[in-house]
Chain A
Amino acid sequence: MKDTMNTSDNIIRRAIDGVAPAEGAKERMKKNIYEKAQKAQKQEKKSVSSVRFWKIAMPVAACLCIAVIGAVKLIPTMGQNDPGKITISDNSEDNMQIASPFEEVSSAKVFEDRLGIQADAPKGAKNVAYNILSGNVAQVDFELGGHEYMLRASKSDEDLSGLYGDDKGTKKYDDAFNTQLKTIVIDGKDTYSLTWQKKGVFYTLVNTDGSSVSEMMSVLDVL
């Protein structure tokens, strides 16, 4: 069994499928499922009936207009996959309802040649990957000191961090490069993004797996 990784797919599947539930779990869960579903449906009916008619009449009318317009636009595309439904196809080629915004490139030189942007991982970084995001953002993913980092660079000053959470504040470190550390709370944890500017390019360094402020600053020092 010690050479598991040679047939790891089978062993992982067998292990998961072989987990033994407690006695009576099957019937107990089934009963709970029906009860929960019934409760959920009652709750849904309750919340709908409590809304006054005149409060929904206008939005309904607006939705009908949108639906008509949408139907007119969608009619030519009927028969194709509906992006609103879960359609996980076996065929990865026809599963791509949304094209990936990432274009993998070979090196940091491509950023310079195509985008006029200098961005690269620090020396000693592992698992370095270069991508161009949405055609105009350079992205370098790398691992350093046991943490995964993402460096993005763009000539636009939009927020490149891709982080969404409660803003806990921004601290400015210098004026020369307008270096700032932003703290965002995501799932109860402080997550950091460092931003700075250099030669007309806006940079963002992000870590989401628990890097400390000092670790982030250390990475910035070697970039």
Chain B
Amino acid sequence: MARSELRADEGFDTFYERHWRRVYGICMTYMKNPADAEDCTEDVFVKVLTGNYEFTDELHEIKWLTVTAANLCKDRLRHWWNGKVSPIDEAAEIPAENSDSEYDDVISALRSLPEKHREVILMYYYTGLSTEEIALRLRVPASTARNRLRDARNKLKDILENDDL
């Protein structure tokens, strides 16, 4: 399998080209506005640029980027600053703009899920991790990971099938 090249600037530019939109989309499922999503996206790629990571193939890249983006967003949301956000800042929340409005409600539904459900949905459906791999990453029993995934799917299904949305 071709090894990703990240050392030369050309290599990073190519890497960024391949993945920037994907990472941005993941960050938008967590953050409430495009500015924060852009900030988190940038931080993900800064990690790539300054780190010493070796990816075996594109799927490996996607998995790493998804997990890293989710973790960065979660850390950002838990930061003390977010606890002090004033009501006026809530008005800055801008709904996700989607090139295909068919998926607007999917993004909104993902955002409305509790964090523990959103992360398993992303890990399972977007990244393709198995429930065993999810359990290892979350440090929970495999049965808990399966239960969370099942509950998350049911919640998502309820939200998406709600005609009021």
Contact = CB atoms under 8 A, between A and B. Distances in A.
Interface of A: 1-2, 4-5, 8-9, 11-22, 25-26, 28-30, 32-34, 36-37, 40-41, 85-90, 92, 95-96, 98, 100, 102, 104, 127, 129-131, 139, 141, 143, 187-188, 209
B130 interface: yes
Contacts of A131: 141, 143
B100 A18 contact: yes
Nearest to B49: A37
A12 B125 contact: yes
A32 B78 CA distance: 23
B68 to A, nearest CB: 9
A102 B135 contact: yes
Interface of B: 13, 16, 20-22, 24-26, 28-29, 34, 38, 41-43, 45-46, 49-50, 52-54, 56-57, 59-60, 63-64, 67, 78, 80, 83, 96-100, 102-103, 106-107, 110, 114, 116, 121-122, 124-126, 130, 132-133, 135-136, 140-144, 147, 151, 153, 156-157, 160-161
Contacts of B133: 92, 95
Which 6 interchain pairs have the tightest Cβ spacing? Answer: A129-B143, A15-B103, A15-B106, A16-B25, A19-B25, A102-B141
A204 B25 CA distance: 40
Contacts of A89: 56, 60
Nearest to A127: B147
Contacts of B22: 16-17
Chain B interface mostly: helix
Contacts of B130: 92
Contact of B34 (A22, A34, A90, A209): A22
Contact of A16 (B26, B49, B63): B26
A96 B121 contact: no
Nearest to B45: A33
B25 A187 contact: no
A8 B125 contact: yes
Contacts of B126: 9, 12-13, 16
B24 A21 contact: yes
Contacts of B46: 33, 36-37, 40
Contact of A19 (B67, B97, B125, B132): B97
Nearest to B77: A187
B132 A92 contact: yes
Contacts of A17: 21-22, 25
B34 A21 contact: yes
Which among B22, B24, B26, B142 has the greatest number of chain A C-beta atoms within 10 A?
B24
